[in-house]
Structure 1
Amino acid sequence: MKISALLLILICLATALKAQIIIPLDSAQKQYLKISGSGQFWLRHTDLNPGSLVKEQEESNITDFSVRRLRLKIQGKLSHNFGFVIQGGQNNINTAKKEKTFKILDAYGFYEFKPWLKVGVGKSAWVGLSRYSAPATASQLSSDIYFSTLPAINIYDDMMRRPSLFSYGQVGKIDYRIILAKPYNDSKPVTPKDKQATFASQYSDYQTSWYIKYQFLDKEKQSSSFAPQYYTSRKHIFNIGVGHLYQPSATWSLQQQDTLFHSMNMHGIDIFSQLPIHPKVDAIFYGGYIHSDLGTNFIRNIAPNNICSGTNEMGSYSGSGNAYPAAGTGAIFTAQLAFNYHLTKSMIQPAISMQYADYDILDDDVINYDFCINYYPDMKHSKLTLALQSRPIFESNEGLTHCTARKSLFLLQYQFKF
């Protein structure tokens, strides 16, 4: 099915429906099929990194339209114990490339042995390390996700998903997930660099991860692999979580002409809360720390939804378009603060997000800011977002890599979901 036809169908459904599409399969409605979907549409103005090329022409800034994400999901329970999830979609439908195939993202089944023990298998985004290693993109508090907890996105996975065997459940106030995943093989051959780790061009070994959180107040549901960044309903939530992700021989480097392999070894701890501070106001806070080890001097620039084709001789260390050093070996801190102002039938949500990273290879710290105002006209199906993002530009000179400037991105987003 072409993207344009599917997009039209989803928009019609999103505007027409006032409730979930649920097809009962038995009289008690314990067996069912549920259909849902979402889309994010961007109008943005980007101050491009130095030397960025758009169709081989240097541009300093650009304004563009795009579809950041599009999703259509079918999930269900076919018996009391067995369920499944199939989700299709695509990201970054922009002017850089005409053809974007609507593809299968999630395809897995799970069996509930006990309320505290569910086991699943298939292609999924179940992963450990931190709450936002699998962020629910339909409930973002910022203009986009931060990629520090996803250093190998689209290298060893497919838009966060990978074939995996996973277990999850809740025991009292403890919520857990444990995952054994088989990473995809990176199709792009890369030559090892001297004293700097890069992703290895070899058969990928198994990846293991886990995440455990303790829920002091209200319990969150485990209906999805993705973690929401907020709830529109009133909540009393305070959680502390710890996690780990490990993949042997994920990166490689040259040391005196010898090829050395390095593990991807990451540890995380985070806090999430949503608490009422006024009869009509909830405060939302997230704080996380990740110790990230991907080998000697590993660094990766990521440009979400980039429409640039590269850089010329004036290009910077940060890369083209809206790229920035998003992942690497070092220490990473992330913080978010937001407020839900509940009106009669709508909600306003101002939010600020920040990421601070001390990467081994850089001589200055990486600091990203994101200021955002979300408006929910009906609390459920639509969201309008106005956001400002500020990112650093790094330059290399005489063996040192410093932050020399900052660039901005302005975003107007419309999101629907049903």
Structure 2
Amino acid sequence: MRNTRYALALGSMLLASTAFGQVTPPAPGTPPPPATPAAPPATPAPAKPVPYGAGMKVNLSPDGSKYLRFIGWAQFWAQYNENNSNTLRNGVAKSDQLAFSIRRARLITLAQLNPRFLMILDLGIENQASISGGLPNDPNGPGKRAPLYMHEAVGEYRINKYLNIGAGLNYQTGISRMTAASTANMLAYDIPVVNFPTLDQTDQFGFFLGAYAKGRIGNFDYRVAIDDALAPSAANTPATVRTNVAAFYARNSNKIYQGYFSYEFMDKEANLLPFTTGTYLGTKKVFNIGAGFHYNADGMFSRPSALPTTLPTDPYALSFRTHDIKLFGADVFYDAPIDTASNTAVTFYGVYYNYSMGPNYVRNAGVINPGTSIAAPTGFTGATNLYGNALPLIGTGQSIYAQLGLLLPKNLLGPKAKLQPYVAYLHNNLEGLRNADGTIKGVNVYDAGLNLYLDGHNAKFTLNYRARPDFSDQSFLPANNGQATVNSVNYRPEVTLQAQVYL
């Protein structure tokens, strides 16, 4: 039986192979023509660039109502600076230099997992140069390993179409539109700094820790906040400040109340994020007026009399006074096309500030200061922080800032590139700066620049020329009761080339 099964199986295999191996002989006559060869696949045309919208978005639901969104930008500076008098750089006298730096590198993440809930996280670094901006007290040098830190971290809840509430480290600030400026779509190469009067004193680089409410009712847009005053440097005590010159009060524990209110006469601006736009490049027609405030009780202090010969163990045993921080601003913003066919547009912003921050308060500062210290001449009694590119930017008194830009006709440099020249002007009238005759010495800063847009704000270069006043020739005389006497002012050139990528 086994042999029979083997025989049957072998026969079946032979029959099958014969059937599969049969070839039908060709029919007699002319053979058919060969098949036409298939055309090679067409080379796909390069995809057209997609206009940048609201960031890189990852939808978490089919309708896009739940999503993650990422916004990032970086700004690189190459700057030539003629230094203020007596400037040292790394301990060596330096009259001028060309320096490179990272002005900003930021990444924002938005999470919308429910129509009513929104989370915002903002990470980044600022102001890293070869001599500054690195990790504090880094044994390898001051310009290395710039710390990545949290700028903003908030959770927000939508009550209704008129009201949103939120809390955390936030940017819902008062005083002015520019106090909440976006640094990714500015008109000028940078912010004027006067718009941040409490920068890194009672806030964290312009961001505040607290709760806020925001919204829009018709054409009226508002934001109000109550925040904690972050503790300033403990080095400012009644024993270390100048007589009758205010400083931030390290023992301040009072809340900060602030808000900003604006009326939109033309197109409405997006207010999902707190950042305000500097220039729309002709894509909107915006005309807004606004006003804001910032109040912090006992936020400053001063010592009204000279130091005694023998200092007490506790510096706060000395006589001192506290002062409220009272800040006010009013502004106007206009941005609109001039001619839609040629894509020309105009941008204007103007703001008035009135700051009350205690007697004779003046803050000297320079953005990414290229100097490290001052070589004080014998008998020098002036401000020791007026080296490099520093100037009196903030203080008790009044300030005016304005900027004007013109977007030139398209196709001047091809289909994508656009040019936008601009000018900007800052004037400070600070009670702590005086001429020899006792009148207030004004601070005037002049900027002129040109934006080259290769792909809108997403890829642009800015060249800026600044005429910067050098206030380092000043004296603090006992008879002036805390006011600085400005002996002379020289103007120094400052040229900045900024490259920006914004995605």
TM superposition score normalised by structure 2? 0.77
Single out whichever of 170-179 and 279-288 deviates more from structure 2. Answer: 279-288
Equivalent residue number for residue 112 of structure 2 = 77
Q: What's the counterpart of residue 8 of structure 1? A: none
Structure 2 counterpart SS, 1:387 = strand
Equivalent residues in 2 for 1:363-378 (5 A)?
363=434, 364-378=441-455
Residues 123-176 of structure 1 deviation map (CA, whole Å, 9 limit, x = unaligned): 122201100112111122223211212121011111111212011111001000
Contact 2:282 2:344 in 1 (8 A): no
Map of 1:293 onto structure 2:
356
The match for 1:24 is 59
Worse-matched range after superposition: 325-334 or 189-198: 189-198
The residue number in structure 1 matching 2:489 is 404
What SS does structure 2 have at the residue aligned with 1:138?
coil
Aligned partner of 2:310 in structure 1 is: none
- Counterpart CA distance in 2 for 1:243 and 1:148 is 15
Aligned CA distance change for structure 1 residues 144 and 380 (closer, same or farther; 3 Å): closer
Aligned residue number for residue 274 of structure 1:
335
1:253 has 2:309 as partner: no
1:163 to 185, 209, 212: 209
State the distance in 1 between where 2:197 and 2:352 align: 15
Q: SS of 1:145's equivalent?
A: coil
Amino acid at match of 2:295: Y
CA distance in structure 1 between the partners assigned to 2:228 and 2:113 by the alignment? 27
Matched letter for residue 321 of structure 1: G
- Distance in 2, matches of 1:238 and 1:146, equals 21
Which of 357-366 and 309-318 deviates more? 309-318
Report the alpha carbon displacement of residue 402 of structure 1 after superposing the two structures with TM: 4.4
CA contact (8 A) 1:143 1:389 kept: no
Identical amino acids, percent of aligned pairs: 27
Pairwise CA distance, 1:18: 6.2
- Measured in 1, the distance between the counterparts of 2:76 and 2:121 equals 23
> Quick check: 1:120 aligned with 2:166?
yes
Residue in structure 1 matching 2:432, options 349, 361, 367: 361
2:291 is aligned to 242
Return the alpha-carbon distance in structure 2 between the equivalents of residues 141 and 116 of structure 1: 30
Larger CA deviation: 131-140 vs 338-347: 338-347
- Is the contact between residue 213 and residue 225 of structure 2 (CA under 8 Å) also seen in structure 1? yes
Secondary structure of the corresponding residue to residue 278 of structure 2: coil
- Report the structure, 1 or 2, having the larger strand content: 1
The higher radius of gyration belongs to 2
Shift, 1:16, TM fit: 12
> Could you report, residue by residue, the CA deviation over 1:218-257 in whole angstroms, capped at 9, with x for unpaired residues?
1111022121111134221111101111111111111236
Relative to structure 1, the CA distance from residue 211 to residue 66 in structure 2 (aligned partners, 3 Å threshold; closer, same or farther) is same
SS of the counterpart of 1:133?
Answer: helix
The answer (yes or no) to whether the contact 1:88–1:105 under 8 Å persists in 2 is yes
**1:342: how far off?**
4.6
For residues 72 and 152 of structure 2, the distance between their equivalents in structure 1, rounded to whole angstroms, comes to: 13
Structure 1 partner of 2:323? 262
**Residue type at the aligned position of 2:243:** D
Give 1:403 shift: 4.4
Change (3 A) 1:17 1:211: closer
C-alpha deviations, 1:380-400, integer Å up to 9, x for none?
Answer: 420101101122122224652
CA distance in 1, matches of 2:173, 2:494: 30
Q: Name the CA distance, whole Å, in 1 between partners of 2:69 and 2:409.
A: 28
User: Residue 92 of structure 1 corresponds to which residue in structure 2?
Assistant: 127
**Residue pair 2:252, 2:299 contacting (<8 A) in 1 also:** no
Q: Deviations for 1:293-321, whole angstroms, at most 9, x for unmatched residues?
A: 10111100011112322111148646111
Alpha-carbon distance in structure 1 between the residues aligned to 2:449 and 2:57: 33
| Structure 1 pair 58–225 and aligned structure 2 pair: CA distance change class (3 A) | same
* Aligned pairs (5 A) from 1:301-312: 301-312=364-375
Residue 189 of structure 1 and its aligned partner are, at CA, apart by 1.4
2:460, 2:259 → 1: CA distance? 32
Contact 1:164 1:182 in 2 (8 A): yes
Equivalence for 1:11 = none
SS in structure 1 opposite 2:184? helix
Q: Are 1:199 and 2:248 matched, yes or no?
A: yes
CA–CA distance in structure 1, aligned partners of residues 253 and 425 of structure 2: 33
1:60 aligned to 2:90? no
Secondary structure in 1 matching 2:178: helix
Which residue does 2:279 correspond to in 1?
Answer: 230
Q: Which residue of 1 aligns with 2:176?
A: 130
Specify the code of the residue in structure 1 equivalent to 2:358: G
* TM superposition shift of 1:345: 2.4
Structure 1 stretch 324-333 or stretch 222-231: which is displaced more?
Answer: 222-231
Q: Report the Cα distance in structure 2 between the residues aligned to 1:277 and 1:133, rounded to whole angstroms.
A: 27
C-alpha displacement of 1:201? 2.0
1:261-304 per-position Cα deviation (integer Å, ceiling 9, x unaligned): 01110111100001222332111111111111101111000111
Q: Is the 1:339–1:349 contact (alpha carbons within 8 Å) kept by the matching residues of 2? A: yes
CA–CA separation in structure 2 for the residues paired with 1:89 and 1:139: 17
Name whichever of 58-67 and 396-405 sits farther off. 396-405
Aligned-residue offset at 1:71: 0.3
- TM-score normalized with structure 1 length: 0.93
Aligned to 1:3: none
Higher RCO (Cα < 8 Å, 6 or more apart): 1
- Distance change in 2, residues 1:402/1:211 (3 Å): farther
Greater mean deviation of Cα atoms: 57-66 or 305-314? 305-314
Residue 341 (structure 1) shift: 2.3
CA deviation map 1:364-386 (0-9, x unaligned): 10011111100111224201011
Unaligned runs of 5+ in 2: 1-48, 132-142, 306-317, 435-440
Superposed CA offset, 1:161-198 (max 9, x none) = 12120111110010000011112111341133311111
SS at match of 1:221: coil
Distance in 2 between residues matched to 1:80 and 1:63, nearest whole Å: 50
Work out the number of aligned pairs and report it: 404
Cross-structure match for 2:82: 47
Give the aligned partner of residue 416 of structure 1: 501
CA-CA distance at 1:204 after TM superposition? 3.5
Question: What RMSD over aligned residues (CA atoms) do the two structures have, in Å?
Answer: 1.8
